[in-house]
């Protein structure tokens, strides 16, 4: 699934994620919409950050759950055309049933991302 975030190959999610996946993420407005919502979220993020690349640092499995520590690197383009490299770190816990993700919890450093975006906006030329 993390490769899909990097490649944008949304159709691959059909084989990886249950259509009625429950996605717990307080920052995701589409989290309650199952697989369709997850696809919308990834598309929206890829539209905003077309070069987004996720790197998996650690994965730990226990029973039906896999915890993944990851970093997303991307470029932000301001309204004035200035670009800034941004990163965000996060942890995702996925629960599996019948070979697919059926429930997911995601936590990420949104404060760090918002701070970096504000810092970039403050330094953009007028």
The two tokens of residue 39 are: 């696809």
Going by their DSSP bridges, the two strands 17-24 and 100-108 should be labelled as: parallel
- The label of the residue with tokens 């301001």 reads 78
- In this model, does residue 113 exceed pLDDT 90? no
- In this model, does residue 119 exceed pLDDT 80? no
Highest mean pLDDT among 33-37, 114-118, 119-123: 33-37
The predicted model gives 66-83 an average pLDDT of 88
Q: Count the helices and strands in the chain (H runs, E runs).
A: 4, 5
Q: pLDDT band for 17, please (50, 70, 90 cuts).
A: very high
The predicted model gives 33-41 an average pLDDT of 95
The two tokens of residue 84 are: 């800034």
pLDDT on residue 123: 67
Please state the pTM of the whole predicted model. 0.86
- In this model, does residue 78 exceed pLDDT 90? no
Q: Any idea what the CATH number is for the domain that residue 25 is in?
A: 3.10.450.50
- In this model, does residue 76 exceed pLDDT 70? yes
The predicted model gives 25-44 an average pLDDT of 93
* Per-chain mean pLDDT for the chain: 91
Q: pLDDT band for 125, please (50, 70, 90 cuts).
A: low
Neighbours of 65 (CB within 10 A): 14
Provide the domain count of the chain.
1
Host domain of residue 76:
2-123
């Amino acid at each position: 699934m993390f490769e899909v975030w990097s490649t944008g190959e949304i159709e691959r999610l059909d084989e990886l994620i249950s259509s009625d996946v429950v996605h717990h993420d307080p920052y995701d407005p589409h989290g309650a919409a199952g697989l369709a919502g997850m696809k919308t979220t990834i598309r929206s993020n890829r539209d905003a950050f077309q070069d987004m690349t996720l790197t998996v640092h650690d994965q730990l499995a226990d029973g039906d759950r896999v915890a993944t520590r990851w970093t997303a690197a991307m470029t932000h383009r301001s309204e004035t055309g200035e670009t800034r490299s941004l990163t965000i770190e996060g942890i995702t816990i996925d629960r599996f049933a019948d070979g697919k993700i059926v429930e997911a919890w995601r936590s990420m450093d949104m404060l760090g991302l918002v701070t970096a975006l504000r810092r970039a906006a403050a330094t953009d030329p007028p």
